């Protein structure tokens, strides 16, 4: 079940519980105060007399006042005994239905984002890695071998990723980050994940070795529905592809997963330190053809930022 479906179920249970508890309180109050039944009966009778008068065109005003009086009497009594008959909903606005006037209630959206964040594996990661905090000054401005300077290259990739995230619902291609370590691949992956989570999308962010470990663990008994989560998340981010163990089972599962996601229009973001040649050596034709056909390449180059920062004493 997706996070959203689980949350719908939780909301339904929460609402039912609040209503149930109110009914229990009500029953107790009525048992302790039998006069309430009497008052209810008086209200029902006054109400039906008033309705009849309205329907038949009779003089309803006096009957309306009478109805208000018996209602007020009951309200006064309930107040005097501090009766608590209404359900205690967590969200007064949507009464725990999760629905607002225009789609989802704010409370539902908030919980969904928190839940998506929790299942994304990003909860523990740095929170300042966002598009807003990206620092282009770290990148070199010297053009390289007929290529753009690392900084201009980075600006191009950054813009592509930002647009990609902002128009996520219209994406039919996935992203492949290629390049050595320390060039900002992980930073941008995290920024994309964060931006999508803030939109209420479900994201799974996982390193390829951890991914392989979980696939292997779920091979005979997928207790946590791990495979389904990898298929259902709106975005699947696999970091450091190529350093995991490539058993035929893992490669086969990854291929199936890619096919499923491509078929259902769910994008992926893979990052790898391997160059194309390395990818070709590490994987069989099936994965290569999918990477070539369905992914937009982003090639990261330049000096390792961590080494650079160390040299410059940052």
Instruction: Give the DSSP per-residue string, 243-293.
Output: SS---HHHHHHHHHHHHHHHHTT--EEEEESS-HHHHHHHS-HHHHHHHHH
- What's the gap between Cα 295 and its chain centre? 24
- The reply to whether 112 sits near Zn ion by the rule CB under 5 A is no
Which of 269, 287, 266 has its CA nearest to residue 171? 266
Site string for Zn ion, 77-106 (x = CB under 5 A): --------------x-xx----------x-
Query: 296: how many CB neighbours lie within 10 A of its CB?
Result: 15
The minimum distance between CB 21 and Zn ion, in angstroms, equals 18
Question: CA 215 to CA 219: how far, in whole Å?
Answer: 6
- For Zn ion, the closer of residues 93 and 306 by Cβ is 93
The minimum distance between CB 109 and Zn ion, in angstroms, equals 9
Count residues binding Zn ion (CB under 5 A): 5
Residue pointed to by tokens 């109110």: 22
The minimum distance between CB 92 and Zn ion, in angstroms, equals 8
- For Zn ion, the closer of residues 90 and 173 by Cβ is 90
- For Zn ion, the closer of residues 99 and 160 by Cβ is 99
- For Zn ion, the closer of residues 111 and 244 by Cβ is 111
The minimum distance between CB 10 and Zn ion, in angstroms, equals 13
Looking at the DSSP assignment, which residues form a beta bridge with residue 99? 104
Site string for Zn ion, 191-210 (x = CB under 5 A): --------------------
DSSP label at residue 234: S
- The reply to whether 107 sits near Zn ion by the rule CB under 5 A is yes
- For Zn ion, the closer of residues 93 and 311 by Cβ is 93
Question: CA 16 to CA 96: how far, in whole Å?
Answer: 9
Per CB under 5 A, contacts with Zn ion among 258-277 are none
The minimum distance between CB 76 and Zn ion, in angstroms, equals 32
The minimum distance between CB 20 and Zn ion, in angstroms, equals 19
The minimum distance between CB 94 and Zn ion, in angstroms, equals 3
Residue 203 near residue 196 (C-beta atoms within 8 A):
yes
Question: CA 272 to CA 178: how far, in whole Å?
Answer: 5
- The reply to whether 311 sits near Zn ion by the rule CB under 5 A is no
What are the tokens at 94?
């949507």
Residue 238 near residue 271 (C-beta atoms within 8 A):
yes
- For Zn ion, the closer of residues 41 and 93 by Cβ is 93
- For Zn ion, the closer of residues 95 and 130 by Cβ is 95
Q: What are phi and psi of 88, to 5 degrees?
A: -95, 90
- For Zn ion, the closer of residues 7 and 241 by Cβ is 7
Helix axis angle for 106-119 and 3-32, nearest 10°, is 130
The minimum distance between CB 233 and Zn ion, in angstroms, equals 25
DSSP label at residue 180: -
Q: Hey, what's the torsion of the CAs at 197, 203, 209, 213, to 10 degrees? A: 130
Residues that bind Zn ion (CB under 5 A): 91, 93-94, 105, 107
């Amino acid at each position: 079940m997706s996070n959203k479906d689980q949350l719908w179920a939780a909301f339904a249970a929460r609402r039912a519980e609040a209503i149930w508890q109110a009914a229990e309180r009500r029953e107790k109050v009525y048992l302790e105060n039998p006069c309430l039944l009497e008052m209810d009966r008086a209200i029902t009778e006054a109400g039906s007399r008033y309705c009849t008068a309205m329907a038949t065109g009779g003089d309803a005003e006096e009957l309306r006042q009478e109805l208000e009086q018996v209602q007020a009497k009951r309200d006064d009594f309930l107040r005097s005994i501090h009766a608590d008959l209404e359900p205690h909903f967590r969200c007064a606005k949507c009464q725990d239905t999760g629905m607002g006037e225009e789609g989802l209630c704010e409370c539902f959206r908030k919980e969904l984002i928190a839940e998506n964040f929790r299942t994304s594996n990003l909860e523990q990661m740095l929170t300042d890695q966002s598009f807003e905090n990206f620092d282009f000054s770290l990148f070199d401005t010297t053009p390289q071998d007929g290529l753009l300077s690392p900084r201009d290259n980075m600006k191009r990739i950054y813009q592509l990723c930002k647009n990609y995230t902002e128009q996520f619902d219209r994406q039919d291609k996935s992203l492949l980050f290629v390049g050595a370590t320390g060039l900002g691949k992980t930073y941008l992956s995290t920024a994309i994940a964060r931006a999508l989570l803030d939109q209420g999308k479900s994201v799974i962010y996982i390193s390829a070795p951890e991914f392989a470990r979980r696939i292997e663990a779920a091979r005979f008994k997928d207790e946590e529905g791990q495979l389904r989560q990898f298929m259902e998340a709106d975005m699947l981010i696999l970091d450091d592809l190529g350093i995991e163990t490539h058993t035929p089972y893992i490669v086969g599962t990854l291929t199936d997963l890619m096919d499923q996601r491509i078929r259902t229009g769910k994008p992926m973001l893979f990052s790898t330190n391997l160059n194309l040649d390395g990818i070709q050596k590490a994987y069989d034709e099936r994965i290569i053809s999918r990477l070539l056909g369905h992914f937009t390449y982003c090639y990261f180059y330049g000096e390792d930022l961590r080494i650079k920062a160390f040299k410059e004493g940052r």
